[in-house]
Chains A and B, each alone.
Chain A
Amino acid sequence: MIENSWTPDQPLVSLNNVHKSFGDLEVLKGITLDVMKGEVICIIGPSGSGKSTLIRCINALNDIQAGSITVEGQEVHDPHLDKLELRKKVGMVFQQYNLFPHKTALENIMMAPLLVLKQSKDKVEERALTLIKKVRLEGKENSYPGELSGGQQQRVAIARSLAMNPDVMLFDEVTAALDPETVKEVLVTIKELAEDGMTCMLVTHEMGFAREVADHIYFTDRGVIVEHGPPATFFDQAQDPRTKEFLGQIL
């Protein structure tokens, strides 16, 4: 075991020349990016450009074929990787919420700290109630996912991830399955998280939101990062023709 010499002034998440294939189809063709602690980055790009695959590789839901991904200095692309240790540090929220339908909102939030972190029930419940409040779902503690709207379910899913006290949160198109009127409540929740200093990586189609909250925007197309930069530069002075075309279609 190599001793971990990571310090907080180094990138929290670092991808270096990452290649990922599904069979013969290469979806990531050498992605390199760094995320510092407290930074919020947004990954945008056309459908099928490998955005979701990219962030799924970071918590080892997908494996990679070449390159390196480190989270707090720990190599993810390592056959001896302790996936469970990695996933305690990396929270993830999905497009389809994926709440546990047989558990109430509160139980959904409490399960992982109880079972995985083996924390005491009182402590976990107290924290879960704080998180419910944070995502503005007071009164819904005992509702089952089936009784909640899409936006409410997604906020429970965010709280469920936060309950593990992750160092970085991954958001995989979390508003893509929502009704337009509930998108905002979820985005507000994420924005507050970002303001609290949580390191966030978002795959999103919400350009206005990306511009508002992101410290850095990455535009991917066909498995490569075409262009990146701070939102102001990226949106107003895009250089690459592919970026310009994409932004032209979307904005």
Chain B
Amino acid sequence: MISPNTIKSGKTDLPVLLPFKLHGATRTASDYWTEIISNKSFVIFILAVLSLWMLIDSAFAQVTGNPDQTLWDTIVKWTPLMMFGPKGEFGGFVLNIVVSFIAMGLGTFLGLWLGIGQVSPNNLIRRVSWVTTQLFRNSPWLVLLFYFMLLLPFRVELFGVDYDIPGWTKATFALSLPIMANVSEIVRGAIESIPTGQWESSESLAFSRSQTLWRIILPQCVKRMIPPWMNWYCILTMSTPLISILGVSDGMTLTQDALAAEGRSEYLIPMYLWLMSWFFAYSYPIAAWTRRLENKFVIGKGVL
């Protein structure tokens, strides 16, 4: 029975199709962190990792009798190496993050110019930018990595001094190229999404083309570009373990090394899960933030 009170309060036990809730429209930064920490999938994932360890470990402990070193001991022992690399060297998961930072920075810088090149009034610049973009956008990342590891010298001589080029810098450069190409497409798309009226009114106010681009068009593009740009940052970070194939001592390589040293194949799954959870913990907040920005820019004031 529906009472007048029910109608007033809007509460009912009848099946009601509730209006679609537009997430993100009114949420604040603190809501965002609360959401991440209380997010079910995040907690479930961490719990899954932990319980899988314990399950596998105890199962194998029963099979192999009385192991002298438990999974927990193994993780405690190897975590510093997996995280920071060998003593006195630069490596581990931290290197993955450093590589992702540098590759993203370089890729963004190059991609910005390439994207601007793609909308250049000069036919030649436009064609070259387009071909470059398509080439690196449609090449497998691993193939690019192999090319640049082999093509770039491992040692250069500058002013009579020999410098070693560490493998990770070459790998970083190689990874920045697909980022460059994708940023180029983001920039081109954003520039083309700005109404032509903005170009026309700038032109009729006697702005030069570069003034129009840098003062009028690109500032309006920034908001539109940030979510896809952050998306590519996450993809890049997830792809950094590729460099382990080329012998760079990143988190992946060192996890392999740790496993080889221990010679305990039953720890393969939990050890890689442990490493994976770091990537997850690093990337998930960025992905969630991206989603929040996307919502914010679609709804309300963010729309330009």
Residues on A lying within 8 angstroms of B by beta carbon are 59, 61, 83-85, 87-88, 90-92, 94, 96, 98-102, 111-112, 115-116, 146, 157, 160-161, 164
Are A96 and B203 within 8 A (Cβ)? no
Asked if B67 CB lies within 8 Å of chain A CBs, one says: no
Beyond contacts A99-B201, A100-B201, A111-B205: 10 other A-B pairs, Cβ-Cβ < 8 A, are: A84-B206, A84-B208, A85-B206, A87-B206, A94-B200, A96-B197, A98-B197, A98-B201, A111-B215, A115-B211
A99 surroundings in chain B (CB, below 8 A): 201
B204 surroundings in chain A (CB, below 8 A): 59, 61, 87, 90-92, 161
Are B219 and A102 within 8 A (Cβ)? yes
- Complex formed: what's the CA distance from A181 to B200 in Å? 27
Are B215 and A101 within 8 A (Cβ)? no
Asked if B21 CB lies within 8 Å of chain A CBs, one says: no
B220 surroundings in chain A (CB, below 8 A): 100-102
Are A102 and B205 within 8 A (Cβ)? no
- Complex formed: what's the CA distance from A92 to B192 in Å? 23
CB neighbors of A among B181-232 (8 A): 195, 197-198, 200-208, 211, 215-216, 219-220
- Complex formed: what's the CA distance from A116 to B211 in Å? 9
CB distance from A76 to the nearest CB of B (A): 13
Q: A102-B220, A115-B211 are in contact. Are A164 and B200 (CB under 8 A)?
A: no
Asked if B304 CB lies within 8 Å of chain A CBs, one says: yes
Are B304 and A101 within 8 A (Cβ)? yes
A96 surroundings in chain B (CB, below 8 A): 195, 197
For the complex of A and B, the 7 pairs showing the least CB-CB separation, nearest first, are: A98-B201, A98-B197, A87-B206, A112-B205, A92-B204, A101-B304, A84-B206
- Complex formed: what's the CA distance from A101 to B302 in Å? 11
Give the total of B residues in contact with A, Cβ under 8 Å.
Answer: 19
CB distance from B190 to the nearest CB of A (A): 13
B211 surroundings in chain A (CB, below 8 A): 115-116
Are A115 and B215 within 8 A (Cβ)? yes
Some 26 contacts from A to B, beta carbons below 8 A apart, are: A84-B206, A87-B205, A87-B206, A90-B204, A91-B204, A92-B201, A96-B195, A98-B200, A99-B201, A100-B201, A100-B202, A100-B216, A100-B220, A101-B220, A102-B219, A102-B304, A112-B205, A112-B207, A115-B215, A116-B206, A116-B207, A146-B304, A160-B205, A161-B204, A161-B205, A164-B205
CB distance from A127 to the nearest CB of B (A): 15
Q: Which residue of B lies closest to A145 (CB)?
A: B304
Asked if B27 CB lies within 8 Å of chain A CBs, one says: no
Q: Which residue of A lies closest to B202 (CB)?
A: A100
Asked if B11 CB lies within 8 Å of chain A CBs, one says: no
A83 surroundings in chain B (CB, below 8 A): 203, 206
Which of B201, B208, B216 has the largest count of A CB atoms less than 10 A from its CB? B201
Q: A115-B211, A146-B301 are in contact. Are A98 and B206 (CB under 8 A)?
A: no
- Complex formed: what's the CA distance from A112 to B203 in Å? 10
CB distance from A36 to the nearest CB of B (A): 22
CB distance from A62 to the nearest CB of B (A): 10
